[in-house]
Amino acid sequence: MKIKFVISVSLSLLALLLTACQQEQANTVQPGTKTSTGATLLNFVEFEKSVEPYATRLIVTERYMRFDDGEGSTDFVLFDRQQHVVYSVNSDEETIVAVHQKDIQLDAPYELKLTHTKLDNLKDAPTIGGKQAEHYQFSANGERCYDVITVPGLMPDVAHALREFGELLASDSKVTFNTLPADLQKPCDISMNTFAPGRHLEFGFPIQEWSMQGSGRSLLDYQLDYQADQALFVLPDDYRQFSVQEFREGRALRIE
């Protein structure tokens, strides 16, 4: 399954993206109605260098986040926000790898000077939910890391869930960080993955993100009152399940 969280796409798609978001807001959202799951559905197009663009889906509830490749996906990532665990489900191998929140204090190997710049190039862009999109560039130690088109106040619950998810993965990355060769401890990489995950989420919900390595993601549409099947948030009960630490140690044991 191709799931990416730090991503890149051409700014030429921005006008189309904003229009799609406005149409989705007008056509599918029914204010005042609630579903049994209280779910929000988001559809993205993902880009990678030398790879054809592909679709991904995110479903968010108060309890869960599910990342997959769309309707009918049997491979998926499930984040249990209450238990602070991320599960990666692989249908080919019939396995579930669990990543738990870690409480590890770890300092960066050198000082990280994290900066951001707001660009004034979206004043004439259409609004989304009455909000004006904003363009930010994020850097670490003078190196440009990634750009984000964000909308302040748009889907704050989803932005918060994404931040929780990023912080959990960052906590796990600290477990093996000291085994990372020094020449791979680059400012952008270690800030995004370990020491300052999701810092762009402070500025609103990201509708476009792109890195300097040629990868990217763009929001196509969203639905606030999505009637999600509860089965989407249930793990297969006949798959082998083990923790990521057991996986690292070569011990693929079922957790009872």
Q: What is the number of structural domains in the chain? A: 1
Is residue 83 in some structural domain? yes
Residue 255 lies in a domain: no
Does residue 254 fall inside a structural domain? Answer: no
Maximum C-alpha span of the chain: 56
Is residue 3 situated within a structural domain? no
Residue 6 counted as domain residue: no
Residue 4 belongs to some domain of the structure: no
pLDDT of residue 128: 83
Alpha helices (H) along the chain: 14-28, 156-176, 187-190, 244-248
Number of residues assigned to the chain: 256
- Tens-digit pLDDT profile for residues 146-164: 999 999 999 999 999 999 9
How far apart, in Å, are the Cα atoms of 77 and each of 41, 68, 133? 15, 7, 29
Close Cβ partners of 254 (under 8 Å, ≥ 6 residues apart): 240, 241, 242
For residues 127-136, one letter each, b for 16 or more C-beta atoms within 10 angstroms of the residue's C-beta and e for the rest, the string is: ebeeeebbbb
Residue 164 has phi, psi (to 5 degrees) of -60, -45
- pLDDT digits over 228-250, tens only? 999 999 999 999 999 998 888 87
**Backbone φ, ψ for residue 200 (5° rounding):** -70, -20
pLDDT class of 83 with cuts at 50, 70, 90: very high
Distances (CA, A) of 70 to 84, 178, 185: 24, 36, 34
| Assigned domain for 212 exists | yes
Residue 221 main-chain phi, psi, to 5 deg: -165, 170
Helix (H, G, I), strand (E, B) or coil at 224: strand
Percent of the chain past pLDDT 70, that is, above it, reads 84
Any idea what the Cα angle at residue 166 is, between residues 182 and 191, rounded to 5°? 30
- Reported confidence tier of residue 31, pLDDT bands at 50, 70, 90: very low
Q: Find the CATH number of the domain harbouring 145.
A: 2.50.20.10
Degrees to nearest 5, angle at CA 54 with 49 and 57: 125
Structure tokens at 132: 């004006």
Domain range spanning residue 149?
11-248
In this predicted structure, the answer to whether residue 5 has a pLDDT above a threshold of 60 is: no
Dist CA 117 CA 104 (whole Å): 30
Residues near 249 by Cβ (< 8 Å), separated by ≥ 6? Answer: none
Which of 134 and 32 is assigned the larger pLDDT?
A: 134
Per-residue confidence (pLDDT) for residue 22, from 0 to 100: 46
Rounded-to-integer distance, Cα 77 and Cα 81, Å: 12
Nearest in space to 241 (alpha carbons), one of 98, 75, 92:
98
Domain for residue 256, yes or no?
no
For residue 165, pLDDT over 90 is answered with yes
pTM metric for this prediction: 0.83
Q: How confident is the model at residue 252 (pLDDT cuts 50, 70, 90)?
A: low
- Looking at per-residue pLDDT, the higher value among 30 and 140 belongs to 140
* Mean pLDDT computed over every residue of the chain: 85
What is residue 37's predicted lDDT score, i.e. its pLDDT? 60
